[in-house]
């Protein structure tokens, strides 16, 4: 089974020690360093999608929360990151079983209430939004907060922790935008549709957000049918910006049939001074499917005009005691912009 989602965890004091979390849909969850070395593998079931957020209040401290959809028992898998060992620790208070056959998943931290949620969806388009919280004993429990139906098969999703928006890909239709709050109901706007007008070729797979100051940045979608990545504006009506591919170069094969993606604006060691974009590669020359890490700088430079680069907006401060600070604004394949 293919690897899919791959969120990037930024180390609190040394970005070079940051991690990439990747799921193996056939059996577990893996933790990698930025050089691709596997540091941990958790054979915890058919983990499909995984996401993370910082500063979750647990046991009197603020921790990095990792949560995932587990298809083995239609549950939510919940972990924290042990900073000292750079490994995951299971902190679920119980097996949280959902009322749907789980598939995709993503986390949201509300800028209005400070509450943390996980969205989990199904292949038939059902979505459940669960609030996650400390059960009083240093474990994480959850309660169902909202349900709605997208329509047909869904998987990739992402939530904006500043603007309060929730995006989900209906794989054969396009991308929808909902309110992320639990009381937002089922009202939605279609961001883009499959086809020339939306620059997407089915299936719509991974979604991720590049954060920058003042609500700026980018929504990025994985266009699996064309092995491309499509960039829209994060703000406003999510206007189309550009399309790019990760082609072969430096002895590394191209990215094809991509699924999960992630992006971080923050500098991560010398190889990624302006942040990093990571994509799952379905067809990897001479080996298993894998992840490709690409510096954000060349992607930005491929835009006309160049894309936003904001290396000072720190995602680790979202949910901290102080507000996030914003100021003015391995694997290195080639980038081709359109």
CB 318 within 8 A of CB 110: no
| Domain of residue 211, CATH code | 2.120.10.30
**SS3 helix, strand, coil % of the chain, rounded to 5?**
5, 50, 45
Q: Summarize pLDDT for 163-207 with one digit per residue, the tens.
A: 999 999 999 999 999 999 999 999 999 999 998 787 999 999 999
Residue 291 C-beta-side C-alpha neighbours within 13 Å: 31
Arithmetic mean of pLDDT over the chain? 90
C-alpha to C-alpha distance for 99 and 75, rounded to whole angstroms: 9
**Which of helix, strand or coil describes residue 332?**
coil
Model confidence at 285, pLDDT cuts 50, 70, 90, reads low
Residue 3 in domain: no
Whether the full predicted model's pTM is greater than 0.85, yes or no, is yes
Residue 1 in domain: no
CB 103 within 8 A of CB 123: yes
Edge-to-edge strands of the sheet including 290-295? 261-264, 276-281, 290-295
Model confidence at 324, pLDDT cuts 50, 70, 90, reads very low
HEC profile of 301-326: HCCCCCCCCCCCCCHHHCCCCCCCCC
Residue 2 in domain: no
Q: State which residues form the domain around 15.
A: 8-337
Q: How many domains does the chain have?
A: 1
Give the pair of three-digit tokens for residue 214. Answer: 């003042």
Q: Summarize pLDDT for 13-67 with one digit per residue, the tens.
A: 999 999 999 988 778 999 999 998 999 999 999 999 999 999 999 999 999 999 9
């Amino acid at each position: 089974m293919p690897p899919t989602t791959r969120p990037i965890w930024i180390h609190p004091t040394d970005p070079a020690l940051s991690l990439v979390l990747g799921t193996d849909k056939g059996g577990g969850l893996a933790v990698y360093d930025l050089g691709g070395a596997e540091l941990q593998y958790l054979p915890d079931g058919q983990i499909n999608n995984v996401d993370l957020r910082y500063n979750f209040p647990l046991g009197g401290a603020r921790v990095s929360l990792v949560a995932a959809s587990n298809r083995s028992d239609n549950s939510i898998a919940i972990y924290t990151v042990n900073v000292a060992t750079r490994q995951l620790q299971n902190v679920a208070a119980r097996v949280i079983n959902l009322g749907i056959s789980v598939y995709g998943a993503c986390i949201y931290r509300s800028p209005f209430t400070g509450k943390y949620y996980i969205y989990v969806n199904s292949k038939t388009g059902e979505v459940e939004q669960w609030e996650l919280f400390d059960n009083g004993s240093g474990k994480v429990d959850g309660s169902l907060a909202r349900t709605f139906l997208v329509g047909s098969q869904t998987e990739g999703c992402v939530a904006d922790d500043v603007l309060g928006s929730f995006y989900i890909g209906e794989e054969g239709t396009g991308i929808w935008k909902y309110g992320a709050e639990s009381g937002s109901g089922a009202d939605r706007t279609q961001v883009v549709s499959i086809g020339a007008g939306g620059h997407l070729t089915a299936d719509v797979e991974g979604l991720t957000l590049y954060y920058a100051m003042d609500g700026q940045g980018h929504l990025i979608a994985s266009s699996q049918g064309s092995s491309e990545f499509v960039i829209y504006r994060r703000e406003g009506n999510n206007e189309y910006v550009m399309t790019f591919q990760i082609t072969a170069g430096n002895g590394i094969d191209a990215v094809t049939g991509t699924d999960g993606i992630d992006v971080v604006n923050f500098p991560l060691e010398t190889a990624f001074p302006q942040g990093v974009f990571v994509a799952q590669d379905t067809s990897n020359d001479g080996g298993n499917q894998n992840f490709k890490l690409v510096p954000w700088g060349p992607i930005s430079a491929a835009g006309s005009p160049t894309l936003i680069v904001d290396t000072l907006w720190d995602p680790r401060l979202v949910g901290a005691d102080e507000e996030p600070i914003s100021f003015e604004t391995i694997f290195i394949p080639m980038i081709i912009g359109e």
